[in-house]
Amino acid sequence: MPAPSPSPLPLLVDADCCAPLGVDPLDDGSAQQLAQAFKALADPVRLRLLSIIAAAPTGEVCACDLTGPVAKSQPTVSHHLKVLREAGLVASRKHGTWVHYRAVPEQLAALRHVLALDPVSGP
């Protein structure tokens, strides 16, 4: 099995990536991996989707409730959700016809950790 990975980007946490920016210069590989994660956040529609999901009281949001707030077509929203999923920022759970999305706190925490300047930014 050469490429079994359904999720091309593992959690940064699982990859032990990376020290805070202010601590160590990034090597090329880590920079690539991090850039991919930040790329997922580098779109206003995806940021709004993620914030809606992350701020949901139940912790989950049906995909059917996401098309309206961001005012984009259903395929476009589906595309953005896929990008967020592949970046490890959200996870999805199928529930009959519907798909529910939830945020992945560990991945967000890993990105926060990288944006720190000092080593003591608390695990």
Partner DNA sequence: TAGATGTATTGACATTTATCGATGAATCGC
Partner DNA sequence: GCGATTCATCGATAAATGTCAATACATCTA
Residue ranges in contact with its own copies by CB under 8 A: 21-26, 28, 31-32, 34-35, 38-39, 41-48, 50-52, 54-55, 69, 103, 105, 108-109, 111-112, 115-117
What, of its own copies, DNA, none, does residue 26 touch, CB below 5 to 8 Å by kind? its own copies
Per DSSP, the residues of the chain read -----SSSS--TTTTT----TTTSPPPHHHHHHHHHHHHHHSSHHHHHHHHHHHT-TTS-EEGGGTHHHHT--HHHHHHHHHHHHHTTSEEEEEETTEEEEEE-HHHHHHHHHHT-SSS-S--
Instruction: Determine, following the binding rule CB under 7 A, whether residue 45 of this chain makes contact with DNA.
Output: yes
What, of DNA, its own copies, none, does residue 61 touch, CB below 5 to 8 Å by kind? none
What, of DNA, its own copies, none, does residue 91 touch, CB below 5 to 8 Å by kind? none
Of residues 67-106, those binding DNA (CB under 7 A): 67, 72-76, 78-83, 92, 94, 96-99
Q: Token digits for 122?
A: 């608390």
What, of its own copies, DNA, none, does residue 60 touch, CB below 5 to 8 Å by kind? none
